[in-house]
């Protein structure tokens, strides 16, 4: 018969596992109920419990049904433990103590020592279970009786009764006909039975024989009302109310008086009871599972509360971490973008065609005038330093923000200064005065004086403007000053070629090093959070397992399975931004790359790239240049804002702070300043931050002082206007 209940073993194990996850105290009611119902689920016997207040005749009724004085009875409350009566060939008693000691005796005399209340009406603390084995045909069918202590006497006994009722497939509630359904009995019926899914209940009225005939009729009517007011879940055609005079029934059984047993109501009750058990016993799952549903519902609610609490804590941590990561990712992308733009500008500047276009003419002139060192310091080095610092500042930002590898300065050295040896002057020269030339000892320059010097400088400009390779070769041979000019131009080309090649090579290495700086390690989460994740997973697995086991036995639930928690992907790895890189000159035009390589190898060839010398006066910046400046300013501003956010983890973000602050009522002075700021930007009051920013951008492009460098009167006006615009933008950004 045990095999019939192997299917419930998984359900019982799931209930126990869920109980362990809740860390319930052993003495808690829920823990006791879980243990009781789990043991009952795998119990192959059909258990019938006799339940009622003390001195209602519970033990007397059971003795009458068994046909002997098996159980202790007296005029005072006696049963101090739950006594289970099972089938056995001989009358024997087995008692289990808390220290696992087993007491096995013939007969039932040992009950006087272990199973009844002492003189202080206290139960023994060392008794775990009491079992009586009795030879009775009804018990042999797999039925067992449970004689419970009387209720409404001691709290400890009430707790024991309440716990044991869950292990009963059928409950016989004994009523005293002299005081039907007291308030305590009605409360017990509701709290201990109905609310816990125990609805297979039969009422047995005792002591009716002690009433007068008129009283018996009145009590009978009241009993019918009691029975009808409680809808028991018994097989169809069976009443849930019976009359048994327990003591006369016991006496009749002991004497073998069949007629007296019939008149006591015992025979009718026994017949009905056996038929009910015969119907319920094969499908006892329908009796037990409603109790499981009531207990499981409590477990699920407790588990869900625990799961939700931990999930909220983890989500709060994840939200904060994700916010920090998003800020860092955005910062890394912005820094990388700024770095790529700056490096791209430096790379374009280092491209040989651009260097030749911008510097060849004035460098050749400086060389001819023996002023090359000064030109290199004041012009070329100045421009290079500005571009180097522009690129380096982004790596400084990255180090300050992410604290990864400290960046090294970007240093691009200059080649050895050009060395030109003046050609000898032929005897048939023109009318120009003597060159007055002297070769400088270092070989990097010379002095040209008089008309020859001026002619050389003029020839440099002329040759570069007219494209020297298209000039008449004979003319170049016959003109001394053009020979000198050509040597200067070629020397500068060689110098800039070496400078470009070396600079671009260093820049490539610098970009590779930047990848180690513009990145950040995604931090290892605290052990406390990791443990909480593991705990949450165990709780959800236990919850899901219980839910699935309940579904197998057709117990429906309003709860849904928890989805598996995805493991964090932000642990122990680095984030490196990979935005679209700025295209280099070699990607723009392969021909330029080839020309660059040729120039780097050739130091004596004629000039390949020519263009007019740059104008000395700096023009006003073009709109696209101003736009680039503004984008650069925006990147710096955004990085600074994110740094401020990162310094105050857990606090409100700047947007949240702005929102919070905007809800505060400013004083009148502040209100006037804000209104004036809107007017300066040409906006309606309470315009959005996006509108404020757009208006500011528009005004910057219109009134930027760089646009009026050649217009002194308008320049002053633009400076004053930009002062007001900047002040207004600051006020509206902080309001």
pLDDT at 269: 94
> Which CATH number characterizes residue 116's domain?
3.40.50.300
Dihedral angle of Cα 663, 668, 672, 674, to the nearest 10 degrees = -20
Q: What is the mean pLDDT of residues 680-703?
A: 82
Q: What is the mean pLDDT of residues 655-675?
A: 59
CB hemisphere CA count around 267 (13 angstroms): 11
Q: Is residue 19 part of a domain?
A: no
Residues 384 and 239 in one domain: no
Owning domain of residue 149: 46-283
Q: What is the mean pLDDT of residues 123-130?
A: 79
**Distance (Å, rounded) from C-alpha 264 to C-alpha 257?**
11
Residues 276 and 342 in one domain: no
Structure tokens at 541: 């697995």
Q: Is 205 left (phi over 0), alpha (psi -120 to 50) or beta?
A: beta
The total number of structural domains in the chain stands at 2
pLDDT at 520 over 60: yes
Residues 273 and 386 in one domain: no
Q: Is residue 730 part of a domain?
A: no
Using pLDDT thresholds of 50, 70 and 90, give the confidence band for residue 564: confident
Query: For 147-204, what is each residue's pLDDT tens digit?
Result: 888 886 677 778 888 888 988 999 999 998 888 777 888 888 888 888 888 889 999 9
Neighbours of 146 (CB within 10 A): 22
Q: Is residue 362 part of a domain?
A: yes
Q: Is residue 429 part of a domain?
A: yes
Residues 395 and 465 in one domain: yes
pLDDT at 708: 74
**Distance (Å, rounded) from C-alpha 662 to C-alpha 655?**
10
Structure tokens at 322: 């994700």
Residues 193 and 53 in one domain: yes
Using pLDDT thresholds of 50, 70 and 90, give the confidence band for residue 642: low
**Distance (Å, rounded) from C-alpha 227 to C-alpha 222?**
9
Question: Is pLDDT larger for residue 596 or for residue 99?
Answer: 99
Q: What is the mean pLDDT of residues 494-513?
A: 93
pLDDT at 117: 65
Average predicted confidence (pLDDT) for the chain: 78
Q: What is the mean pLDDT of residues 366-370?
A: 86
pLDDT at 700: 76
Considering only CA atoms, which of 209, 206, 117 is closest in space to residue 154? 117
Q: What is the torsional sign of CA 295, 300, 305, 309?
A: positive
Residue listed under structure tokens 């009722």: 165
CB 639 within 8 A of CB 401: yes
pLDDT at 524 over 90: no
pLDDT at 663 over 70: no
Residues 332 and 273 in one domain: no
pLDDT at 613 over 80: no
User: pLDDT exceeding 90 applies to what percent of the chain?
Assistant: 27
Q: What is the DSSP letter of 448?
A: -
Using pLDDT thresholds of 50, 70 and 90, give the confidence band for residue 316: very high
Which of the listed ranges 65-69, 605-609, 629-633 does the model predict with the highest average pLDDT? 65-69
Query: For 23-59, what is each residue's pLDDT tens digit?
Result: 988 888 888 889 988 888 888 899 999 988 877 888 8
Query: For 409-459, what is each residue's pLDDT tens digit?
Result: 899 999 999 988 877 766 554 433 333 333 333 333 344 444 445 555 666
pLDDT at 378: 95
**Distance (Å, rounded) from C-alpha 112 to C-alpha 92?**
14
pLDDT at 307 over 80: yes
Question: Is pLDDT larger for residue 255 or for residue 151?
Answer: 255
Q: Are strands 83-87 and 46-51 parallel, antiparallel or unpaired?
A: unpaired
Q: Is residue 50 part of a domain?
A: yes
**Distance (Å, rounded) from C-alpha 505 to C-alpha 338?**
21
pLDDT at 228: 81
Question: Is pLDDT larger for residue 589 or for residue 491?
Answer: 491
Using pLDDT thresholds of 50, 70 and 90, give the confidence band for residue 640: low
Question: Is pLDDT larger for residue 483 or for residue 662?
Answer: 483
Residues 109 and 246 in one domain: yes
Q: Is residue 107 part of a domain?
A: yes
Q: Is residue 159 part of a domain?
A: yes
Residues 586 and 455 in one domain: yes
Residues 278 and 322 in one domain: no
pLDDT at 308: 93
């Amino acid at each position: 018969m045990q095999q019939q209940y192997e299917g419930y073993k998984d359900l019982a194990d799931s209930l126990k596992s869920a109980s362990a996850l809740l860390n319930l105290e052993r003495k808690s009611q829920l823990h006791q109920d879980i243990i009781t119902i789990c043991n009952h689920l795998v119990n192959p016997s059909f258990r019938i419990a006799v339940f009622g207040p003390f001195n209602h005749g519970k033990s007397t009724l059971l003795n009458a049904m068994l046909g002997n004085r098996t159980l202790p009875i007296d005029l005072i409350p006696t049963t101090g433990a739950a006594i289970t009566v099972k089938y056995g060939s001989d009358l024997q008693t087995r008692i289990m103590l808390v220290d696992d000691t087993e007491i096995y005796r013939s007969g039932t005399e040992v009950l006087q020592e272990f199973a009844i209340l002492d003189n202080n009406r206290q139960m023994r603390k060392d008794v775990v279970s009491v079992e009586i084995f009795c030879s009775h045909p009804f018990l042999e069918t797999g039925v067992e009786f449970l004689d419970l202590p009387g209720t409404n006497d001691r709290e400890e006994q009430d707790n024991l009764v309440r716990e044991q009722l869950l292990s009963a497939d059928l409950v016989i509630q004994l009523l005293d006909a002299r005081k039907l359904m007291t308030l305590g009995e009605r409360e017990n019926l509701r709290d201990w039975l109905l609310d816990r899914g125990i609805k297979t209940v039969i009422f047995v009225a005792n002591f009716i024989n002690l009433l007068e005939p008129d009283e018996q009729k009145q009590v009978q009517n009241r009993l019918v009302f009691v029975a009808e007011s409680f809808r028991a879940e018994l097989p169809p055609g069976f009443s849930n109310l019976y009359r048994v005079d327990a003591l006369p029934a016991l006496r009749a059984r002991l004497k073998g008086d069949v007629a007296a047993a019939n008149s006591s109501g015992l025979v009718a009750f026994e017949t009905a009871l056996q038929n009910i058990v015969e119907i319920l016993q094969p499908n006892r799952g329908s009796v037990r599972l409603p109790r499981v549903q009531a207990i499981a519902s409590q477990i699920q609610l407790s588990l869900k509360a625990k799961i939700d609490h931990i999930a909220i804590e983890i989500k709060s941590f994840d939200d904060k971490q994700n916010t920090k990561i998003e800020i860092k990712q955005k910062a890394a992308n912005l820094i990388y973008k700024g770095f790529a733009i700056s490096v791209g500008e430096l790379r374009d500047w280092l491209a040989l065609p651009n260097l030749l276009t911008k510097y060849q003419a004035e460098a050749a002139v400086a060389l001819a005038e023996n002023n090359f060192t000064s030109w290199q310091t004041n012009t070329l080095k100045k421009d290079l330093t500005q571009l180097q610092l522009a690129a380096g500042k982004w790596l400084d930002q990255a180090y300050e923000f992410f604290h990864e590898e400290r960046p090294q300065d970007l240093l691009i050295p200059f080649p050895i200064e050009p060395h030109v040896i003046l050609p000898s002057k032929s005897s048939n020269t023109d009318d120009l005065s003597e060159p007055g030339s002297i070769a400088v000892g270092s070989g990097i320059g010379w002095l040209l004086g008089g008309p020859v010097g001026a002619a050389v400088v003029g020839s440099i400009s002329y040759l570069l403007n007219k494209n020297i390779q298209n000039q008449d070769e004979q003319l170049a041979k016959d003109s001394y000053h053009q020979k000198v000019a050509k040597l200067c131009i070629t020397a500068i080309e060689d110098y800039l070629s070496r400078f470009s090649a070396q600079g671009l090579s260093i820049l490539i290495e610098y970009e590779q090093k930047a990848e180690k700086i513009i990145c950040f390690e995604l931090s290892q989460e605290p052990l406390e959070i990791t443990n909480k994740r593991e705990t949450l997973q165990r709780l959800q697995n236990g919850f899901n397992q219980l839910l699935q086991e309940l579904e197998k036995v057709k117990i429906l639930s309003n709860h849904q399975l928890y989805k598996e928690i995805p493991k964090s992907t932000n642990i122990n790895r680095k984030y490196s931004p990979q935005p679209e890189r700025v295209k280099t000159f070699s990607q723009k035009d392969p021909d330029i790359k080839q020309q660059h390589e040729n120039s780097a190898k050739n130091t004596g060839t004629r000039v390949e790239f020519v263009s007019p010398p740059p104008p000395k006066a700096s023009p006003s910046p073009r709109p696209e240049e101003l736009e680039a400046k503004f984008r650069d300013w925006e990147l710096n501003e955004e990085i600074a804002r994110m740094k401020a956010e990162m310094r105050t983890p857990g606090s409100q973000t700047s947007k949240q702070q702005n929102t919070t602050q905007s809800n505060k009522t400013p004083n009148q002075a502040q209100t006037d300043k804000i209104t004036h700021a809107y007017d300066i930007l040409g906006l309606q009051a309470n315009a959005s931050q996006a509108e404020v920013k757009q208006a500011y951008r528009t005004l910057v492009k219109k009134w930027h002082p760089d646009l009026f460098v050649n217009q002194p009167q308008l320049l002053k006006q633009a400076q004053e206007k930009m002062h007001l615009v900047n002040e207004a933008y600051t006020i509206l950004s902080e309001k």
